[in-house]
Chains A and B, each alone.
Chain A
């Protein structure tokens, strides 16, 4: 009853939340405004709004650097990693949860141990391995180390463990094999954890900077984050152009985030990521 009565007039919390939301959005809104200004308009004090909206800045940024190519690279790299993680982590997670095999405990703890190691520690050896494989400065170099993640295996294993074994036993008595049980019975029940693995893999690979920086050098193999960093050093103080480029590089993820906010939020709440 109280909630009904309260909903008639606006909550005083709007006075806190609206300025807070506005403050958080200032950097992004100012990026948008600057991306539509002229260079002269960014050299004024105090700063102000552009007289006319210069949509041409986006065209210019797109022409001056291979943003299309970079976005495509990022999409290919993170897309491949998402698919392979969903596939490999399900298989391995299921095996760790349900199949007894020699060395299972050892393999599981070894995997958990690699979870604790920061990327900077393994970065140089990984680079040397990629070099031995002859993959330096190629898209596979960006993909291969991220094909499967210990965190994904661990998360899915926990969910497999929480499902009743009777489900599988019944199907197996009816003559279904392990693969059939996994694909037809178990995976359809695992929507939320699989979404989490997909979202976290996508975000971490798409937004990764250090590994692409170390392993790629030609513009055509760069991902969009690295590309943006090189674009920044090339157009040092041309802020309209830089903001247009930055906005373009963020647009795909922003779009996905706005339409799938629910999935992003629940996935990120599952674990820490950035």
Chain B
């Protein structure tokens, strides 16, 4: 009954994982037979300045993307969590970016953020704020990608928070209000703390996805200008499919895998709160 699944999972699940580790100890150009090079790829990685830069860009991106998305998602979910007219339409508007593909998002934002004719610069100009080169500016490109991906993910975060908020028992809020607590206080002091497990899940999920950023970079900046948006996965892709250093790319993938595993474990540890558990019981 499970044999087809087991076969498929073995061939496309287990074998590639083991193979990826093996590949990282080889020199492989995807064409000729591979050659064993031991730890050479990893030694080279340590001294590779572009790899170091790509890690820095990925960290900067993650450090901005995750908290901004998290806070905006929470606020938006709070606003959407009420039964008023048109609420279905409001939710639809917020959730639509979730199903918009990363490629489409990239193409649309390249146009919105066009330095000369884009509406964002036109709006900034009208209200008297400084304009920007966005994707063509080495200083701003990474932050333009942050803004674009926040747009793509806020709906997702809000959706998760909304599901969490709706599972908070109504009586709890009503009891607090009888005790003289305002609605805003109830939101921040009762509902938000109860969202702790949901927030922990979101932080982990957003971080994992941020560390794997690729599509949006490929579509908008191709790592430029001046390599200012070359993130780890983009560099991995370049090494494997532009320079045909598949073994080297596999070593990058292994480092990424370990980094994601470590960050996830640390975040889950931090999210565990003994006090909150005591209250639960």
Contact = CB atoms under 8 A, between A and B. Distances in A.
A binds B: yes
A223 B99 CA distance: 16
Interface string B150-175: 01111110011011000000000000
Interface string A202-244: 0100110110011000000000011011001000000100110
Contacts of A239: 111, 114, 117
Nearest to B7: A148
B200 interface: no
Contact of A274 (B4, B17, B94, B156): B156
Interface in A80-121: 88-89, 91-92, 94-96, 99, 107, 110-111, 113-114, 116-121
A16 interface: yes
B16 A122 contact: yes
Contact of A21 (B4, B93, B111, B159): B93
A89 B30 CA distance: 32
A249 B101 contact: yes
A136 to B, nearest CB: 11
Contacts of B192: none
A128 B155 CA distance: 37
Contacts of B89: 21
Contacts, number: 255
Nearest to B81: A13
B71 to A, nearest CB: 14
A273 B202 CA distance: 11
A111 B12 CA distance: 11
**What DSSP secondary structure best describes chain B's contact surface?**
helix
A47 B23 contact: no
B215 A10 contact: no
A46 B91 CA distance: 31
Given A24-B151, A122-B17, A232-B219, A265 B159 contact: yes
A113 to B, nearest CB: 8
Contacts of B261: 116
B98 A274 contact: yes
B10 to A, nearest CB: 8
B109 interface: yes
A27 interface: yes
A10 to B, nearest CB: 7
A30 interface: yes
A46 B114 CA distance: 13
A153 B8 CA distance: 13
Given A20-B90, A24-B94, A122-B17, A232 B107 contact: yes
Interface range on chain A (Cβ under 8 Å from partner)? 35 or more
A253 interface: yes
Contacts of B80: 17
B142 interface: no
Interface string B240-258: 1100001001100110110
Given A14-B86, A88-B4, A148-B9, A121 B256 contact: yes
Given A121-B256, A122-B17, A213-B218, A11 B101 contact: no
Contacts of B154: 24
Interface residues of B, number: 93
Interface stretch (B36-44, B46-54, B55-63, B205-213): B205-213
A123 interface: yes
A195 interface: no
A46 B215 contact: no
A118 B208 contact: yes
Contact of A27 (B79, B108, B219, B257): B108
B218 A229 contact: yes
Interface stretch (B118-126, B133-141, B269-277): B118-126
A150 B94 CA distance: 30
Nearest to B215: A209
A17 B89 CA distance: 10
Interface string A138-180: 0000001101101001000000000000000000000000100
Contacts of B8: 88, 144, 147-148
B76 to A, nearest CB: 7
Interface in B200-235: 201-202, 205, 208-209, 212, 214-215, 218-219, 233
B151 A27 contact: yes
Contacts of A47: 117-119, 122
A25 interface: yes
Given A44-B117, A47-B119, A210-B214, A111 B23 contact: no
B181 interface: no
B178 interface: no
Contacts of A25: 93, 96
22 contacts: A13-B79, A13-B84, A17-B87, A21-B89, A26-B112, A28-B96, A31-B111, A46-B126, A91-B2, A95-B1, A113-B17, A120-B214, A120-B233, A120-B253, A126-B16, A225-B102, A225-B104, A249-B104, A265-B95, A269-B160, A269-B163, A274-B156
Given A122-B17, A203-B99, 7 more contacts: A11-B82, A21-B93, A24-B94, A27-B108, A30-B108, A110-B13, A113-B17
